[in-house]
Amino acid sequence: MVTIVRSPSLSVAHVLRGFGEPRYTAGHPDGRHAYVSDAKRGEVVALDVLTGRVLGRVAVGPLARHITIDSSGRTLWVALGTKAEEIAVVDVRHRARPRLLRRLRPPFLAHDVGFAPGGRHAWVSSGAVNEVALYSARTGRLLARIPADEPPQHFTFKGQLVYHASGESGTLRVHAADGRLLRLTRIPDESYNVQQGRGWVVTPGLGTGTLCVLNSRGHILRTEKIARSSHDACVVLAAT
C-alpha cells in the first residue's frame, strides 16, 4: 500500500493498493509524477500523485529498493537489494511508461544510489565493503572507487557537495561531487540515514534515538536525544 499526502496539511489524499512490498520513492522534477520500487514484485511503478493513479509498471529485477532520479527527470537507477549484485537503469522520458534500459554490475554489493546535482555523476554505496563508487550518469562508466567507512552508507546532496553517513562507523564524510574528500566528522553510532535542507545536514540515530544536526561544511551544530530510536528525518521548508 502507498499513501499520498497533501502538502502542507499532511492529510491523506490517496491510498493506492496493488503493491507487493513498496520500499522507496523518487519524485519527478515536474512535481506530478513519482516512482516507487516494489521489492516483492521486482518492479518500478509510475504514479500520478495528483490524481492518485498507477500509470505504469516495469520489471527491473528482484528486491528493488533504493531508487534515485536524475535532475532532468529522464533516468532512474534502482539498487536490486540491500547487498545488490546489480543496479537497474530505467528510462522515464515517457513518464507513465518506464522502460528498463540495462543493468549495471557494480564492483561490490551495492546498497544506496544517488544522482549528484547537475546529473553528471551517480554515486553508489556498498552493503559489503568500505567503499563507494562514482559513475558517469550518461554512460554508466565507473569513474572511481572511493574509500568509505563501514557499510551500509547512505547519501544526500547539496550543490556540489555529497554527504554520506556510515551508521556502523559513526561517521559523516563530506565530498566534492568529483569525489574529493573535504571533511570527516564523528557522529553518533547507528546514524545510518542522512538528509539536508536550509543549510543543515541531519542524521538520526537508529539505536541511540539521537538527532545530529550539522552545517553544510560538516561541523556538528547540535546533538539531541529525541526518541528511543530514530530511523529517518527530513528538513521541512515551510512557506513564509
| Cα–Cα distance for residue pair 133/130, rounded to 1 Å | 10
| Cα–Cα distance for residue pair 67/115, rounded to 1 Å | 10
Looking at residue 240, what is its pLDDT? 46
- DSSP H or E segment with residue 54: strand 53-59
Question: What does the pLDDT profile of the chain (240 residues) look like in tens digits?
Answer: 898 888 777 788 899 999 999 999 999 999 899 999 999 999 999 999 999 999 999 999 999 999 999 989 999 999 999 999 999 999 999 999 999 999 999 999 999 999 988 888 999 999 999 999 999 998 999 999 999 999 999 999 998 899 999 999 999 999 998 889 999 999 999 999 999 988 899 999 988 889 999 999 999 999 998 888 887 777 766 554
Question: Which residue segments constitute the domains of the chain, with CATH numbers given?
Answer: 1-105 (2.40.10.500), 108-240 (2.130.10.10)
- 3-class secondary-structure state, position 49: coil
Looking at residue 88, what is its pLDDT? 98
| Cα–Cα distance for residue pair 235/125, rounded to 1 Å | 23
Instruction: Give all strands (DSSP E) within 75-217, no chain letters.
Output: 75-80, 87-91, 99-104, 110-115, 121-126, 131-136, 142-147, 153-158, 161-166, 171-176, 181-186, 195-197, 200-204, 210-215
pTM of the model: 0.89
